[in-house]
Structure 1
Amino acid sequence: MNHPTNPQAASAAGVHAAGLRAAIAAEPAAPVVAGIQGAGGYGKSALLSQLAGIYQAAGIPVSSSPDASRDGAHLVDDAHLLDETSLYALRAIAEKPGARVVVAYRPGPRSHALSELIATLGAPVLLTGLGRDEVARGLPGPASREWIDWLIEQTGGVPRFVGRVTGTIDPSQLGDRTLPRLALEQFRHDFDQLGEHARACVTAMSVGAAPHPEVLASVLELDPGHVAGALASVRSGGLVDDHDMPWPIVRAAAQLLTPLEVRLGIVRRLVDAQLAHGGPVLPLVRPLLGARVALLPEATLSAAFEKGGDEALAEAPELAGRLFDAAVSAGVPESRVAARRARAAAAAGRLDEALRLADRVIVDPAVPDRALGVQVAASVLAHRGLLAQSADLCAWSVDNLRWSGDTAYAAVGLVGTGRLREADELLSSRRESGPPTSLSGAAAKLAGGVRESVTGAATSALSTLVRAAALADPVGPGVMLPDSPAAIAATVALHCGELDVAESSLAKAVESGSGGPLLEVRHRLLAAWVPLMRGDTVTARQALGSVPSELAARDRLLATALHAGIAGRDNDMTALTAIRGQARQAAAEHSPDLFCLLPLGELVVATARLHDQDWLTPYLHEAQALLSALGNPPLWTSMLTWKCLQAAVVVEDMDSAARHAADLGETAHHNPMSAAMAEAARMWLRVLDGQVDQDEAERAARGLHAAGLTWDGARLAGQAAIRTTDRKAMLSLLECARALQGKQPRPRAMSANAGEGELLSDREREVAQLVLAGLTYKQVGKRLFISAKTVEHHIGRIRQRLGCQSREELLDRLRELVGSEA
């Protein structure tokens, strides 16, 4: 008989555990025939115990054995362990009219008699892992959602495993992501019940063996048929997930409770098999790090540690370094992995160690991978702001050690440090080594694009560089380079106002991991430059916040200049003053080159605002000499000249401003940004002289905005507004400045909240409006024909009246009040 004979009883089967409990609790005397299926540890016994309590409370006797002579409810656990006679007897009881039978069993393996019984019981109640709320209710104290998710991940939500952790952990340690040793030791009983073969399978899978009968049979030297049965027992015991992978807590327990020599023997056989077939060994050798075996000479493990280091090198350089160290301890000659250890150290950010190791590799002809040593050293030197030395090393490599991209990166470094003739000679006399690959193609286009940026048109240079970045992206983090095509393409795009191109190139580089972790920070810093140029300091600050605090010299210069740019655009003189020392250090550590002109220009303006320009002057002169050696290429020269003009405006140095405006006029033909800066420079001279033409000022400001210099355009319009004597023109220019910053136009009538606006007198509103436009107290005083001290007095009274505790709070409040006025 394959189906239940009692329709009412059948309706109770197939529902979840809570439904079964509820049905029995609602009518204990009603017939019920149901099966409960769950692997070991999923709560079958607990559910049966709850049902027994319900029946007993209703006065119904409960039997736990297949005894037909006993009345009441038959609640039988572990039916998979019963003999054939008991199973048939239990089936006979279940087929009687009015029977109350609930049987719990594991998913498998099943005998024929058990299968017949299950068919009679019908669709089972399936027990699954605990959810987040269920786990939380069983904790000895409050815990975060993230920690509960971690616990479920470690245990699979298996109730027995969750209980082992929660029952052995101190309530004060909830949140500590370490499995208690006592919880792991409780698995000893589970493993003992499995039998020898099944336990061996769990151990093998816990150290990295695939859960496949043939693989396990080979590694454990067992019969495949025995392994298949053992795996069924492991599944039935609830020790693995749906893919037959042991739960993390099971893996940890197996490694703790299995002697090291047993695990090591299995790992050796697995490693031998993987090495023979070229398969990955990283999952096998990673758990051995830190164990005493990693420090002992061992041929198989030494080869495995070395190969594991190679596998981890691109994605996990810190781990790769530890694996190479273990390989050396296990017998690999130190010289054989020296270059790769240098690369791992560099990618992990340990630049001093990387350079020291790379130098040893380069000078020793007997060491393999010397070309990799050159790549590492050249990359580290570039990151440390020493592009000239990096270029020299790459150029030396062209004649001595060839690697894909050496000629191109030598040329990029030479052009970047003002040595165009040397770069041309190198490019004309040397070809790239090896076959044409994506990497060599990207490097060649990079060199061509950088040269074109100095000698040709901005559009063609940028197009070549973007194609170079596209070729390099698929390479991902697999190589180490002095700089990435994406970074240089973005730098050129920022110099000519193509902010969308810069943003796109950098986003793709970050997504692909181009250049590895060493260049990821550079990509993120340059990406923060895009919102900075647009005047979006909130986004720029957020982007900067994702960057680590410990940076190489090149990245530190970028980060410091970004901080300065944000502070300057926010009129935050306190923050600007605070980074003065950082700026000096960053500039001192970095030799000027083409690719650091953006941050240098930002520091030029920042030091002008601080009236502390003298220390930066020598670096500025070096950069200008470099540009002069390259023939003052407009693409690279214009932005630095523009920043020098802005610095002259800040200190109101008319002679310097006029000189920089003239220089910008000579480069106006090169690209739209240069043209916009040249027109705006002429307007600045008139603004400084008090000759403000509203239409011309707005046209120049909007031209800067269109060229990508949004904040600069808004500043020009705002400064023109406060220097004109025509109130109508002033209001129009202020609205222009607001529009360029993406702000809504201010209504021409008082807002409905006029009572707040009346907190300020007419004079205070004028002072507030000019302060919000960016004027200093001295400039506001000159504009309103009052002293700076009087302006300060007005601001003090406003702050007191509005109850503002900080300058930032005051400015926000003033924007609310004054922003509604005409």
Structure 2
Amino acid sequence: MILLDEPTERVCAAIVSGELAPVRLAMVAPGGYGKTTVLDHLAGADVRLVDDAHLLGDEDLAAILRHLDDEQAGLVIAARPYPRPVKLNEVLGRLRGQIVLRPFDRARTERFRGRESAAVQAQTGGVPGLVRAADDLTLLRHELDRASEDVLRFLLAAEAGAGPDLAGTAIEAAHATGLLAADGTLLPVAARALRELIPHDRQIALRRQLVERQLERGGPVLRLVLPLLGAGLTGDGIAAAFEAAAAEAEPATALELYEAAVRAGRPVSARWAEAAVRHGDFDTALRLADQVIAAESAPDRGEAARIAGIALAHRGQLARSAELFQWSDNGDGNCFAAIGFYGTGQATQARQALEKCSAGGPPTLLAGAVSAAAKGIAESVTDQPAVALATLVRSAEMLEPVSASALLPDSPAALGALVALHSGEAAIAEPLLARAVEAGSLVARHRLLLAWIAMVRGEEETAATRLGEAGDELAPRDWLFAVGLRVGLARRASDLAALRRIWGQAREAVVRHPVDLFTFLPFGEFEVAAARLGERARLAPHLRQARQLLAALGDPPLWATALHWSGLHAAILDEQPGEAAEHAGALRAAAEAGPYFEVMARAAECWLKVLGGDVDPIAVEDAARGLHGAGLCWDGARLAGQAAIRTSDRKAMVTLLDCARVLQGREPSVTPGPTRLSERERQVAELVLAGLTYKQIGDRLFISAKTVEHHMARMRQRIGAGSRSELLAELRVELDQGTT
């Protein structure tokens, strides 16, 4: 069956009818394009037909040239574009034109097969011989059997999508097979034929030769090596190829390639451990790194120690991480060691490591950024918070161009954000973290810190969204922050049921993650939640460790303030006025560290007075707005709301409730009056304020406890109260107004 496009069909018809004479035409096309079929179609015409002219010797080609000496002699000659003997060029040079053979379009493919063939068209590119072979790959066996080793290697390289720079003749010969698309990619049906028709052992041998040649040239080998995974190959050459390919691969694939390299004869390397860290498999990374460190003859023991230090930092084991960085004894390692030692309260070791930070190495962006980060953490302990923050911001900006590829125990952006959060500079932290996320560096950690900023601002929905974006596959350190966020959001929503549900995770996080300087934020949330749930005893050893850590560093205000602030609120919830006063005193002692710390001290004093029943609405509002201005929006609103609950002055109560609503981003109360509550809601509100339980109220009003709960929910929504305590205060005002 012959299916030609219209122009070629007209030419063939003219040849057969004798209309076109004398005929002197060539058909030059790759294999599978139907040259032989066209010659069979022309049989009977007064013209000499020659097939496979590219395979003819000089004598046969000379005879054709003599045939062409007769100007009336006709000739249609078919050949592949390669090989091209000199005498064949002479023959072609004496012809008058070509019969052009084109691949089938989809319509001709479907006519040829007698059915819908979109998939076959995509698999074959419409090459007629491949369309025929789509249902029977053995039709391509002859083509592959007669292909040279160089051609087969080229086809296998094309199958892998590698296309190495082989000899020009191999490329031309491969294209002449018709198995390649115009852009040099192997057509899918041809790829199947390679895999199924070439014996497996021969494939492996050819691929191995291909890989070794590419490795000698220094070209990329990943795509060429991947088909050899699992083949059980050994030897120095293939082991080197697996390692070279691993350096090009994504972490998950790199892990397989490094393992294959070891099986092929390579020793376990620090690079394998690094790939495991990049993949988030810290257990494997630590196991591999430990093997390298233990091997006295291993040349990369220091690098293995650095990788182990990074893995342990992500797992929250900062003290051991710092020891490994110090042992690695390179510039970056000493910088990381200094950060870790400061983070665990080991000031002397930190200063010693800082002296050797980035010593002797090239002045790269990474080295400069890491050195600045270590200096910034040192300044956070010994200098003014603003100085430390400025150093860490510069460190993060220096690292940005190379941050996506850098493997770090922590990022300058995250450390800078922590310092910013501890000093009331969330507005500086947010863009720093956003750029780090965009750069693809420690994305989950940076998203969690962005969520923390939103939470302390009172933007609970944004915080929950950012928490969700961080994902569920988290390193232990990141999981600690994620749990801290869930605890904090439940507490701010006054959702005691949710807080109880999440508390089990919080307890696990505390047990798994030692406290360090950079985890005070989640531990602070846990402390307040523990007080709310009557679980403070469980957290006491960890908080004692945190305060010992601070004492070892000289109680730096930047880090101590957050812990004393959470301690103050835990003491308030636990009804421990003496302990609350101690925390307030510590906050007052840190007030000289800067405006933020002064705001915190003033708010703490205000809390003590409110708890004692001394509610000065002007002082409370001033302190609450100070907290809001420092970025602690929810804390500011809570102070105002709690003061409103505790004052007996109705005017002060209304003023403070309005202040709380404004600080929460809501409108203050409008004209007073009892119109917001229905009669039934008013009855429920009176009984709730009298201290009755929902069940007792239901019994009194002949409704179910669930109905009472629905009434309360509707009242909270209508009034716009941010918490139950604020709702009760609003209801007191509402009922009081209704009786005046």
Q: Same fold (TM over 0.5)?
A: yes
Q: State which of 272, 278, 293 in structure 1 corresponds to 2:212.
A: 272
1:762 aligns with 2:682: yes
Contact 1:191 1:199 in 2 (8 A): no
Q: 1:365 to 1:690 in 2, by over 3 A?
A: same
1:538-557 to 2 correspondences below 5 Å: 538-547=461-470, 549=472, 551-557=474-480
Q: Which residue of 2 aligns with 1:818?
A: 719
Question: What's the counterpart of residue 306 of structure 1?
Answer: 243
Deviation, 1:289, is 2.0
Aligned to 2:438: 511
Classify 1:202/1:395 alpha carbon distance in 2 versus 1 (closer, same or farther; 3 Å).
closer
Structure 1 match to 2:200? 260
2:676 matches 1:729? no
The superposition leaves residues 782-804 of structure 1 with CA deviations (integer Å, 9 ceiling, x where unpaired) of: xx4x2243697379979969969
Task: Provide the C-alpha distance between the structure 2 equivalents of 1:703 and 1:608, rounded to a whole number of angstroms.
Answer: 25
Q: Distance in 2 between matches of 1:467 and 1:795?
A: 65
Q: Counterpart in 1 of 2:89?
A: none
TM alignment of 1:277-296, pairs within 5 A:
277-290=217-230, 293=231, 295-296=232-233
Q: Which of residues 280, 283, 293 in structure 2 aligns to 1:349?
A: 280
CA contact under 8 A between 1:601 and 1:640: conserved in structure 2?
yes
> Alpha-carbon deviations, 1:714-763, whole Å to 9, x = none?
21122122222233433333333232222344544799xx8x95374335
Amino acid corresponding to residue 339 of structure 2 in structure 1: V
Instruction: Provide the C-alpha distance between the structure 2 equivalents of 1:795 and 1:251, rounded to a whole number of angstroms.
Output: 79
Question: Is it true that 1:712 corresponds to 2:665 in the alignment?
Answer: no
SS in 2 for 1:405: helix
Report what 1:320 is aligned to. Answer: 254
2:368 is aligned to 441
Distance 1:369 1:397 in 2: 10
How is 1:488-567 mapped onto 2 (pairs within 5 angstroms)?
488-514=415-441, 519-547=442-470, 549=472, 551-567=474-490
Look up the equivalent residue of 2:548 and give its one-letter code. A
* Alpha carbons of structure 1 residues 246 and 605: separation in structure 2 relative to 1, 3 Å: farther
For the residue of structure 1 that corresponds to 2:429, the secondary structure is helix
Map 1:1-400 → 2, pairs under 5 A: 82=38, 112-114=97-99, 158-160=118-120, 186=135, 188=137, 202-210=155-163, 215=165, 217=167, 222-230=169-177, 234-235=180-181, 243-246=183-186, 251=191, 254-256=194-196, 258-290=198-230, 293=231, 295-312=232-249, 316-332=250-266, 334=267, 337-398=268-329
Amino acid at match of 1:287: P
Residue 123 of structure 2 contacts residue 188 of structure 2 at CA under 8 Å; is this kept in 1?
Answer: no
TM-score by length of 2: 0.75
In 1: Cα distance, 2:719 partner to 2:418 partner:
39
Taking a change above 3 Å as real, the CA distance of residues 188 and 657 of structure 1, as seen in their structure-2 partners, is same
Q: By how many angstroms is 1:369 displaced?
A: 0.9
The yes-or-no answer on 1:652 pairing with 2:575 is yes
- Contact kept, 8 Å, 1:184 with 1:252, in 2: the verdict is no
Query: Once structures 1 and 2 are overlaid, which stretch shifts more, 599-608 or 193-202?
Result: 193-202
SS at match of 2:693: helix
Considering only CA atoms, is the larger Rg found in Structure 1 or Structure 2?
2
Identity %: 41
| Secondary structure in 2 matching 1:692 | coil
**Contact preservation (8 Å) 1:673, 1:708:** no
**Secondary structure of 2:410's match?**
coil
Distance 1:802 1:414, change over 3 A: closer
Cα distance in 2 for partners of 1:36, 1:728 equals 95
1:621 Cα deviation from its structure 2 partner:
1.2
The answer to whether the Cα contact below 8 Å between 1:764 and 1:798 also exists between their aligned partners in 2 is no
C-alpha distance 268-163 of structure 1, shift in aligned 2 (>3 A):
closer
Q: Which residue of 1 aligns with 2:52?
A: none
Name the structure 1 match of 2:23. Answer: none
Q: CA 1:358 to 1:799, structure 2 compared with 1: closer, same or farther past 3 Å? A: farther
Structure 2 CA distance, aligned partners of 1:394 and 1:571? 43
Contact 1:649 1:657 in 2 (8 A): yes
Over aligned residue pairs, what C-alpha RMSD do you find?
4.3
Distance in 2 (CA, whole Å) between partners of 1:561 and 1:269 is: 55
Q: What's the CA shift string for 1:218-258, capped at 9, x where partnerless?
A: 6xxx4544344446x6337xxxxxx5434778756654554
Secondary structure in 2 matching 1:648: helix
Structure 2 unmatched runs, 5+: 18-32, 46-80, 83-95, 108-114, 125-131, 722-729, 735-740
Residue 642 of structure 2 aligns with an amino acid whose one-letter code is: Q
Q: Which secondary structure state, in structure 1, belongs to the residue aligned with residue 220 of structure 2?
A: coil
Alignment check: 8 A CA contact 1:404 1:439 kept? no
Amino acid at match of 2:345: G
| Structure 2 equivalent of residue 614 of structure 1 | 537
The DSSP-based 3-state class of the residue aligned with 1:579 is helix
Matched, 1:789 2:693: yes
Q: CA 1:620/1:302 → structure 2, altered by over 3 Å: closer, same or farther? A: same
Report the equivalent of 2:510. Answer: 587
Distance 1:485 1:730, change over 3 A: same
Contact (CA 8 Å) 2:467, 2:482: kept in 1 or not? Answer: yes
* Cα distance change, pair 191–209 in 1 and its aligned pair in 2 (3 A): farther
2:332 alignment partner in structure 1 = 405
Aligned residues: 638
Aligned to 1:453: 380
Give the secondary structure class of the aligned counterpart of 2:427. Answer: helix
In the alignment, the residues of structure 2 paired with residue 66 and residue 803 of structure 1 have an alpha-carbon distance, to the nearest angstrom, of 94
The match for 2:725 is none
Matched, 1:570 2:493: yes
Once residues 554 and 223 of structure 2 are traced to their aligned partners in structure 1, the CA distance between those partners, rounded to angstroms, is 56
| 8 Å contact kept, 2:694–2:705 | no
Where does residue 427 of structure 1 map in the other structure?
354
The amino acid of 1:280's aligned partner reads P
For residue 698 of structure 1, what is the amino acid of its counterpart? E
Provide the residue aligned with 1:627 in structure 2: 550
Distance 1:658 1:223, change over 3 A: closer
Counterparts of 1:226 and 1:350 in 2: how far apart (Å)? 46
Contact 1:799–1:810 (CA<8 Å) still a contact in 2? no
Deviation at 1:85, TM superposition (A): 9.1
Tell me the TM-score normalised to structure 1 length. Answer: 0.68
- Going from structure 1 to structure 2, the CA distance change for 1:538 and 1:66 (only over 3 Å counts) comes to farther
Q: Distance in 2 between matches of 1:358 and 1:451?
A: 29
1:301 is matched by which residue type in structure 2?
I
SS at structure 2 position matched to 1:366: coil
Paired amino acid for 1:679? R
Query: Taking structure 1 as reference, are residues 801 and 185 closer, same or farther at Cα in structure 2, changes over 3 Å only?
Result: farther
**Structure 1 gap ranges (5+):** 1-33, 38-47, 49-63, 70-77, 90-107, 119-123, 129-137, 140-156, 165-182, 237-242, 768-780
Aligned residue in 1 for 2:526: 603
SS of corresponding position for 1:715: helix
Contact 1:194 1:234 in 2 (8 A): no
